[in-house]
Amino acid sequence: MTAAPRPESALLRRTRWRLIAWSGGTTLLVLLVLGVALYAAASGSLAQTGQQQLRDRVKELAANQISMTMGGPPGAIAVTNDPSKIGVVFGGQASGTLAQIVPLAKFATAPDMGLAIVSGDVGAGRTTRITDASMLAAVARGEMVIREITAGDTPFRVLAMPIETPVGTFVAIVIGDRTNEVGTLRTLLVVLLGGGLLVLLASLAFGYVYAGRALVPIRESLRRQREFAADASHELRTPLTITRASIAELRRGRDDQATIERVIVDLDAGTTRLEQLVGDLLLLARTDAEAIDLEPVPTDLAHLAAEATETLEPVAAARGIRLVLDVQPSPLEGDEVRLRQLVDILVDNAIRHTPDHGRVTVAVRPGGTLSVEDEGCGLRVADVERVFERFWRAPDAPAGGTGLGLAIARWIVERHRGTISAGNRTAAPGARFVVRLPAG
């Protein structure tokens, strides 16, 4: 049977697609901006080159005014795409520019005199006039006019400007073929569209992969929160069940003083356990939210270890356990409250796992090294990696613990940029925890 999807799966899936959409949208926007800018720059550069070609041709015409005026009477200019036809060929390898000199007086009546481009056969082709009223008016005012026209399927650029000669004013008309220019722009557009599409698809693919990787910590956090809630509810249920049972017993034996005293002791123990558990849960919740700030100050780990060990002397003495303190000065910088709590957790854990009349050794060495050893049965190899997990307790662990102390200890050490490890003593049975903190 297929397992039902977890509630967070839909959330993570939506988040993943949103990340992909943002990645793809951003990439598309960048590609559009760059593509438009590149196409506009290329188009402008090619147009400027083509216009300069026409201007250079006009300069050559103007430099030879005598031959210009002797160029023969203007007439219809026949242009064909077939090199075997009479006329000037545009398009293909024979492409070039065509210059025509027209007297200004006759240019004003150009539409009547047939100044045009004929596509195809001269006699049967389609005629495209290269002048219009606005061009005639501009040239008559002495201005240079550049237009882009299309005859058939061939694009052209036309330049017309007046030229002063000793025998009067003439109009130079230069026509240039734009086939290569348009072809280059079309190729560039195809490359931009095709390349942009490939880049966009690659961006979406990488976005899909990296979004999945980016969500791994979130998925892990949600998993830990789910396990945390389940474990917390389980741990809270135990003292609440004890409390409910004690209340029921109290109701049955409310007239029995011995029962009342016993129930009060049970309720006090259950309340103490519940307070400890809730306190640890709140602390871990705040650590997950990074809502706890350390207050590092110059201190001495040996002094803090001695203070924490001294507060646990009554707990150890009640079971005949001897606390051995072997410390040397170890100055460092850290949060005194949290470091004292660290020692308290490790020593309390050692006391719980040490048999009656045993011994717990707390040692501090220069360089920020703290070790706590007990005389219990030690750690199984399979349990070494799990002792710092939240709510995890060994099958043979003594009653009374919450399974949160060592998790809190690891957090304190990591926030001090240190390391903590668990193992067994080498010379005798028992567990050994070692903490290494950056020395001050």
Per residue in 398-420, pLDDT (tens digit) is 665 667 788 888 988 998 999 99
Question: pLDDT-based confidence at 267, cuts 50/70/90?
Answer: confident
Would the pTM count as exceeding 0.75?
no
Of the ranges 196-205, 265-274, 354-363, 406-415, which one carries the lowest mean pLDDT score?
A: 265-274
* Distance in angstroms (rounded) separating the CA atoms of residues 146 and 22: 45
pLDDT of residue 400: 58
Select the more confidently predicted residue: 163 or 436: 436
Helix-helix angle 179-252:257-288, to 10 degrees:
170
104-118, 241-255, 280-294, range with greatest mean pLDDT: 241-255
Q: Report the pLDDT averaged over residues 210-234.
A: 71
Q: How far apart are CA 360 and CA 427, in angstroms?
A: 15
Query: pLDDT, tens digit, for every residue of 125-156?
Result: 566 677 777 888 888 888 898 888 887 778 88
What is residue 434's predicted lDDT score, i.e. its pLDDT? Answer: 94
pLDDT greater than 80 at residue 74: no
Domains and CATH numbers, the chain: 66-177 (no CATH), 223-288 (1.10.287.130), 297-436 (3.30.565.10)
Concatenate the DSSP letters of all residues of 62-88 into one string: HH-HHHHHTS-------EES-TTSSSE
Q: At what angle do helices 405-415 and 257-288 cross, to 10 degrees?
A: 30
The secondary structure of the chain in percent helix, strand, coil, rounded to multiples of 5, reads: 55, 20, 25
Is there a contact between 242 and 284 (Cβ–Cβ < 8 Å)? no
- Separation CA 133–CA 138 (nearest Å): 9
Average pLDDT estimate for 334-344: 90
Residue 178: how many other CB atoms lie within 10 Å? 21
Name the residue among 63, 155, 43, 167 with its Cα closest to residue 105: 167
Reported as a single tens digit per residue, the pLDDT across 47-59 is: 998 888 778 777 7
245: pLDDT confidence band, cut at 50, 70 and 90?
confident
| Interval 357-376 mean pLDDT | 92
CA dihedral 21, 26, 28, 33 (to 10 degrees): 160
The pLDDT confidence band at residue 86, using thresholds 50, 70 and 90, is very low
- End-to-end CA separation in angstroms for the chain: 58
- Which tokens hold the place of 319? 């079971």
At 269, which helix (H) or strand (E)? helix 257-288
Which of 27-41, 174-188, 335-349, 386-400 shows the lowest per-residue confidence on average (mean pLDDT)?
Answer: 386-400
> Average pLDDT over the chain, rounded to whole?
78
**pLDDT band with cut points at 50, 70 and 90 for residue 299:** very high
Q: What are phi and psi of 363, to 5 degrees?
A: -125, 140
